[in-house]
Structure 1
Amino acid sequence: MRALLAVTASLLAVAAPALAQTPAPSRIFIASDSTAADYAPGRYPQMGWGMMLKCGLAPGVEIVNRARGGRSTRTFIAEGLWDALLKDVRAGDTVLIQFGHNDASVSRPERYAPAATAYRDNLLRMIWETRGKGAFPVLVTPPARRSFDGTRVKADFAEYSQVMRDLVFTTATPMIDLEARSRDWVGQAGVEGSRKYFLHYRPADKVAAFPEGIADDTHFSELGARGVANLVAQELKGLKVPVAEQVLAERPDLTRSRPLGSAACR
């Protein structure tokens, strides 16, 4: 009996280090606004790119989407959303940080965060606190709106995107330049062709979520959310963060030309 117990103890001692070294599943947290947020099925076809990112990643990667509509860096912190996210982050996680749309809302003082001061300071806090948890912060510039000057897509949040680009050099933080990539993407589709990426529906289209129709050049349709998620995945794959290895080389769910009617991956 003693011999059996000794053998069992030896086997457990050998197995314990192996079990301790088993890596936890990869997780990506998203801190952002309505352009990345999750939406209930009743809001379809409105979707945020964070809903679709899973379709470009290996099955074991978990997306924890904390994006919330109407939030800027200022309100995301003030309302405790950042602290709640940080509480759940563990070492090895990736945190995608995308703000700018609402920070630029001068007419909404509760949201407004001047680019060179409050916005920059808030991003710095998010970067350092993420690193303090042993996780990997990734800055994401705000996605472009369907905002044309002739045939050229405007950079409506250029000042905010530039702050992020500067932080890449001063803090050595990886960045996805979603503004630049999405401007090219929307521009390639053209003024009319890009409507399908945003919320443009007439009453005659009989969209249940928008019975009176809608003309929204900021928020995404299903195809828009899939397309922006593809841009994020493509850029993420090239970054020096562990989860980059989990980005799929081929992402057919994110390059669809026809909507599925849901956030499903095939």
Structure 2
Amino acid sequence: MPLKLLLLLTTLATTTLLRPEPARLYLIGDSTVKTGSGTGQNGQWGWGSVLDKHFDTTRMKIHNHAIGGRSSRTFVSEGRWETVLSELHPGDFLLIQFGHNDSSPVNDTLRARGTIRGIGEETEEIDNLITKKHEIVHSYGWYLRKYIDEAKAKGAIPIVCSPIPRNQWEQDRIVRPDDSYPQWAQTVAKSKGAFFIDLYELVAAQYDQSTPTQVKQQYFTALDDTHTALAGAELNAKMVVKGIKSLKKCGLKKYLR
């Protein structure tokens, strides 16, 4: 082998060995984070599908495990959380956003995906009408604590996001609930020492600058007032990034563009 070629191969091999592996960010949530295939099915887009535009993807790889229709409960009961948990390594980041589907019925023949309201330790035993299995259902806060505790046990860094707001207005501004999922998410994150992004308020403040009709036409699909179009997903992703930048001592921000 010619000496120049040998030197070139040696240099390439050394460079490859020294190049650090990209950091990893995992996303878990519902359709507002990822809809369908993640590429705009039915005109719906989740913010997780466009979040990579804001990161240096040569140093950060995003794994979007969110899936439409799931609650904090069914993401666990279907085994999806176990899959993510098995992949987590020390130093990985985990963004958590649930709430939109947690208010559904606890047990019915349509979805059976609801959780007990609040953050308490109460439970409800059911014979699931869909899965035909006996199940113990917990509160929204219980499931968030499970994600945080188990992610931390793997050495990962959990970041809780409050759910994004729907296009619901009251007195010329987006409705702000007093005691609901945004507040519960914040309380749980604080109690567990996890990072928290008040995504609900960050997005609502942006919507407030327009009219209900403008927000509907620009950011939401024609189907409903929950699922965002591409422009809405992009706005929400920008607010996630704004939230990340505001987090003190959170290493995730160093991977932003």
TM interval, short-chain normalised: 0.7 to 0.9
CA distance in 2, matches of 1:121, 1:71: 16
Residue correspondences, number: 217
Please name the residue that 2:11 is paired with.
none
Amino acid of the structure 1 residue aligned with 2:25? I
Shift of 1:228: 0.2
Distance 1:68 1:190, change over 3 A: same
Q: Which of 210, 232, 236 lines up with 2:244 in the alignment? A: 236
Q: Does the 8 Å CA contact 2:35/2:44 hold for their aligned counterparts? A: no
Q: Does the 8 Å CA contact 1:95/1:138 hold for their aligned counterparts? A: yes
Shift of 1:158: 4.6
Single out whichever of 227-236 and 23-32 deviates more from structure 2: 23-32
CA-to-partner distance for each residue in 1:114-140, whole Å, 9 max, x for gaps?
222311111111101001111100000
Please name the residue that 2:89 is paired with.
90
What's the secondary structure of 2:160's corresponding residue? strand
Amino acid of the structure 2 residue aligned with 1:96? L
Please name the residue that 1:31 is paired with.
28
CA distance in 1, matches of 2:66, 2:178: 18
TM-score by length of 1: 0.76
Distance 1:108 1:145, change over 3 A: farther
Please name the residue that 2:3 is paired with.
none
Q: Does the 8 Å CA contact 1:34/1:69 hold for their aligned counterparts? A: yes
* Aligned counterparts, 1:4-43, within 5 A: 23-40=20-37, 41=39, 43=41
Please name the residue that 1:219 is paired with.
227
Gaps of 5+ in 2: 1-13, 121-138
Please name the residue that 2:47 is paired with.
49
Please name the residue that 1:151 is paired with.
172
CA distance in 2, matches of 1:232, 1:191: 22
Shift of 1:156: 5.5
Report the RMSD for the aligned CA atoms in angstroms: 2.1
CA-to-partner distance for each residue in 1:69-107, whole Å, 9 max, x for gaps?
111111011110100111111111110010011111247
CA-to-partner distance for each residue in 1:136-158, whole Å, 9 max, x for gaps?
00000000000011311113595
Amino acid of the structure 2 residue aligned with 1:125? K
Please name the residue that 2:199 is paired with.
178
CA distance in 1, matches of 2:24, 2:35: 17
Please name the residue that 2:10 is paired with.
none
Please name the residue that 1:127 is paired with.
148
Distance 1:85 1:148, change over 3 A: same
Please name the residue that 2:162 is paired with.
141
Shift of 1:42: 6.6
CA distance in 1, matches of 2:140, 2:213: 34
Please name the residue that 1:197 is paired with.
219
Single out whichever of 51-60 and 103-112 deviates more from structure 2: 103-112
Q: Which of 113, 117, 120 lines up with 1:111 in the alignment? A: 113
Q: Does the 8 Å CA contact 1:38/1:65 hold for their aligned counterparts? A: no
Please name the residue that 1:245 is paired with.
254
What's the secondary structure of 1:182's corresponding residue? helix
CA distance in 2, matches of 1:106, 1:177: 26
Q: Which of the pair is proportionally richer in helix? A: 1
Distance 1:42 1:178, change over 3 A: closer
CA distance in 1, matches of 2:204, 2:179: 11
Of all paired residues, the percent bearing the same amino acid is: 32
CA distance in 2, matches of 1:43, 1:86: 27
TM-score by length of 2: 0.78
Shift of 1:47: 0.8
Please name the residue that 1:161 is paired with.
182
Amino acid of the structure 1 residue aligned with 2:147? M
